[in-house]
C-alpha cells in the first residue's frame, strides 16, 4: 500500500529536521575542535553521522512505501557556545525538541491509520529516550567538573572513545 500523502509530507519534514540535527552536531564538532577538545569534537562528529543515518532511514522508508522524498532547505546552525556545558545543554534541548517532533509524527500516523509508519516510528521513539539520557548524563558530568581543566581533559579523552558502531 502506498504511503499516505499527509504522512509522507510529515516524514519529508522530519528528514529535514534530522539533517539539521546532523548539521548542528557537526557545527558543535567544529566548535570543540576550535577550543582544542578533540574528544568532544569526535563525539559530536559521531552524533552527526548518527543523525544522518536517521534521516536516511526516513528517506528509504518513504521509497519503500512508494512515496516521494522532497528535500527542504536546512537552516544554518549556531557555531559558537560559551562553554562545553552550554553546548551540551543545547544538545539536550535539541533532543527534547526532536522527541516532540517524533511524537507529533507518530500522532499524524495514528490519525491517518498508517500502521506501518507507527511501527517504524517505534524505533525512533526508543532512540530518543537514549539520546536524551546520553546528553543529560554528559551535562551532569560537566556540572560536576565545573571549570577544572584537568577533569575536562579527562572527559574529553573519554568522549573521544565513542565510535560509530
Running along the chain, 165 residues long, what does each successive block of 10 average in pLDDT? 94 98 98 95 97 98 97 97 96 98 98 97 97 94 75 79 74
Structural domain includes residue 143: yes
- State the pLDDT at residue 147: 61
Instruction: Give me the torsion for CA of 133, 134, 138, 139, rounded to 10°.
Output: -40
Widest CA span in the chain? 57
- State the pLDDT at residue 156: 77
Q: How many domains does the chain have?
A: 1
**Do 114 and 3 contact (CB within 8 A), yes or no?**
yes
- State the pLDDT at residue 154: 78
- State the pLDDT at residue 92: 98
**Alpha carbon 129 to its chain's center:** 12
pTM, whole model, 2 decimals? 0.89
Structural domain includes residue 92: yes
Print the domain residue range for 32. Answer: 5-159
Q: How far apart are CA 90 and CA 105, in angstroms?
A: 22
Q: How far apart are CA 158 and CA 155, in angstroms?
A: 5
The CATH code of the domain that includes 12 is: 1.20.1260.10
Which residue in 27, 32, 26 sits closest to 46, CA to CA? Answer: 26
- State the pLDDT at residue 148: 66
Structural domain includes residue 73: yes
- State the pLDDT at residue 150: 72
Structural domain includes residue 164: no
Under the phi-then-psi rule, with left for phi > 0, alpha for psi from -120 to 50, and beta for the rest, what region is 80? beta
- State the pLDDT at residue 51: 98
Amino acid at each position: 500500500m502506498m504511503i499516505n500523502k499527509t504522512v509522507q509530507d510529515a516524514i519529508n519534514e522530519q528528514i529535514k529536521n534530522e539533517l539539521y540535527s546532523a548539521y548542528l552536531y557537526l557545527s558543535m564538532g567544529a566548535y570543540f575542535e576550535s577550543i582544542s577538545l578533540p574528544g568532544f569534537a569526535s563525539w559530536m562528529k559521531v552524533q552527526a553521522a548518527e543523525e544522518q543515518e536517521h534521516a536516511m532511514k526516513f528517506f528509504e522508508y518513504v521509497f519503500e512505501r512508494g512515496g516521494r522524498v522532497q528535500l527542504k532547505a536546512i537552516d544554518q546552525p549556531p557555531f559558537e557556545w560559551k562553554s562545553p556545558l552550554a553546548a551540551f545543554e543545547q544538545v539536550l534541548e535539541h533532543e527534547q525538541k526532536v522527541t516532540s517532533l517524533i511524537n507529533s509524527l507518530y500522532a499524524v500516523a495514528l490519525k491517518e491509520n498508517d500502521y506501518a509508519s507507527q511501527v517504524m516510528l517505534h524505533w525512533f521513539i526508543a532512540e530518543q529516550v537514549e539520546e536524551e539520557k546520553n546528553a543529560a548524563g554528559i551535562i551532569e558530568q560537566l556540572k560536576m567538573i565545573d571549570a577544572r581543566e584537568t577533569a575536562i581533559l579527562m572527559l574529553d579523552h573519554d568522549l573521544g572513545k565513542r565510535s560509530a558502531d
